[in-house]
Amino acid sequence: MADPHAHPSGGPTTPGPDALPLGHSYAHLPESFHARVAPTPVAAPRLIRLNRELSHELGLHPEVLESPEGIQVLAGNRVPAHADPVAMAYGGHQFGTWVPQLGDGRAILLGEVVDRSGVRRDLQLKGAGPTPFSRRGDGRSSIGPVVREYLASEAMAALGIRTTRALAALSTGEEVARQRREPGGILVRVATSHVRVGTFEYFAGRRDVASVRRLADYVLDRHYPHLVEAEEPYRKLLEEVAVRTAELVASWLLVGFIHGVMNTDNTSVVGETLDYGPFGFLDPYRPGEVYSSIDRHGRYAYEQQPRIAQWNLARLAEALLPLIHEEEEEAVEGARQALGLFEERLEEVYRRGLLRKVGLLEVRDDHMNLAQDLLARMAEGGADMTRTFRELSHLSATDSREDGPVRRLFHDPEAFDGWAVLWRERLAAEGREEGERKAAMRSVNPAYVLRNHLAQWAVDAAVERLDFGPMEELLEVLSRPFEEQPGREPYARPPRQEERVTRTFCGT
Ligand code: AMP
Ligand code: MG
């Protein structure tokens, strides 16, 4: 295999795209796990953006990916020699309803690359044309969702939240028919895993326990190798997925992220944020917030996410039951214990995280009550979530004269004043050095998140004018979300009334 690091400066000896070091561990699984399918070529692919940093992380040459042949590969127009692309099979519960077969209908797994830290990661072309799982759809994507997912995954990564990544965005030179005709696009997505809870359900739904076991062994071997030799590896697998999912959902809650369509087929078994559709970030802190246009009953509202994640994990548990123990009663008891770790871990991470947001170190119930009281006042007072915590990070522990920027975020500023008195008592009791506390607060309270109106601005420019300037600008801002960026204040402020985006769409 060609050494991808051999010629870091490019040049005539740089390996071409046929030498892309692709692995195919998933394609080597039995036939029932996937459908072999090549991407369908597009008319006139153009590289909108390559994530050079990520390509380095993956041990891939940006120069190769940006070359005319490289772009052909990213667009699906040219399949590298020896590549074995597949569409993955999965099922899932969509809004609580069982769908026995979904599968990659507009995405094709090109292969896997082993990154610089030795982790095997999937390269997937999203929008690469029809597959046997497409059913009604065209297997394509509009440029809008490509821009949305690129922005979201990179913004989340910069916030330190586990997520799939975006390696490249391309326009196809073709149009797709949506509500209107829109330019087509392809997202090159990188994931630690594309195995979903729905992948397990797919086989369990067919009573195909041998394949459930095969899939579980694959996931253990690839993603949880430390469990392979464990006693009860399948129960341990469920435990780890529960813990990672808990950590993920807690990290969402702490930055005001709403996934929007947390169906089991969009729930990763490695605890990564997966499938950015009608997601959104809270502007005013409203626990019941729902932005997604398709979520009519608020199933996936902000505050419902822990409960829904737990529900999804219960579906994974059901699929794994026959592996956990041959006696059903014991299997159920083992699964129940494993799932119990979800709530424990979620509480732990959320509590510690929320207290860090208000600058308190010691995890205690009275501190928690204080923090929850702030959230309640924010909800009551229409306070912007991101702004409130960021401005709070600048406040003195002893002097309330500079409180203006925070208190003005509340309909009734006195609601904040009342809270701030209690807060300063707690800060005084902890007695941390002021500069250190503020810096610590700023390191967990971002100044910049991908607010809905900002994402919409970048999407509109892309869809209407193939203008990717706003996307570039946002990527720059959002790559350093915890740093003050002078001159970029407009990206930190809440939307004005007329800018508010209260409905988000997956658009596909
Ligand atoms: P998602 O909205 O990504 O959770 O997708 C749900 C299911 O619909 C998956 O099986 C997708 O592959 C499929 N799907 C979504 N959009 C399309 C499309 N444009 N063409 C074909 N299948 C699609
Ligand atoms: Mg999906």
User: Which pLDDT belongs to residue 17?
Assistant: 76
**Residues facing 122 on adjacent strands:** 112, 191
> Which domain-ending residue is among 172, 194, 216?
194
How many distinct structural domains can be found in the chain?
Answer: 2
Ligand showing the shortest atom-to-Cα distance for residue 105: 1
Residues of the chain with pLDDT below 70 are 1-15, 507-508
Concatenated DSSP letters of 161-172? --B-EEEEEEEE
Residue 380's nearest CA partner among 326, 332, 416, 430 is 416
240 shares its domain with 134? no
Give me the phi and psi of 124, to 5 degrees please. -125, 135
181 shares its domain with 267? no
479 found inside a domain: no
User: Which pLDDT belongs to residue 19?
Assistant: 79
Region at 466 (left for phi over 0; alpha for psi -120 to 50; beta for the rest): left
366 found inside a domain: no
| Atom 6 in ligand 1: residue holding the nearest Cα | 102
426 found inside a domain: no
Q: For residues 432 and 438, what is the distance between their CA atoms, to the nearest angstrom?
A: 10
- Ligand 1: which of 178, 189, 292, 508 to mutate, judged by most atoms within 8 Å of the beta carbon? 508
104 found inside a domain: yes
Per-residue pLDDT tens digits for 104-115: 999 999 999 999
Looking at the whole model, is its pTM more than 0.85? yes
161 shares its domain with 207? no
176 shares its domain with 214? no
Q: Is 149 helix (H, G, I), strand (E, B) or coil?
A: helix
168 shares its domain with 210? no
169 found inside a domain: yes
> Which domain-ending residue is among 146, 174, 194?
194
153 shares its domain with 206? no
157 shares its domain with 117? yes
206 shares its domain with 336? yes
In 61-156, at which residue ranges do the beta strands (DSSP E only) sit? 86-88, 92-94, 97-99, 107-114, 120-126, 141-142
299 shares its domain with 204? yes
182 shares its domain with 64? yes
99 shares its domain with 154? yes
The binding-site residues of ligand 1, defined as CB within 6 angstroms of any ligand atom, are 102-106, 133-134, 137-140, 265-266, 275, 277, 506, 508
Task: Give the residue numbers annotated as catalytic, written as ranges.
Answer: 265
User: Which pLDDT belongs to residue 505?
Assistant: 86
50 found inside a domain: yes
> Which domain-ending residue is among 194, 218, 242?
194
335 shares its domain with 234? yes
User: Which pLDDT belongs to residue 506?
Assistant: 78
438 found inside a domain: no
Domain membership of residue 95 as a residue range: 19-194
| Protein residues with C-beta less than 5 angstroms from the ion ligand 2 | 266, 275
279 found inside a domain: yes
| Atom 11 in ligand 1: residue holding the nearest Cα | 105
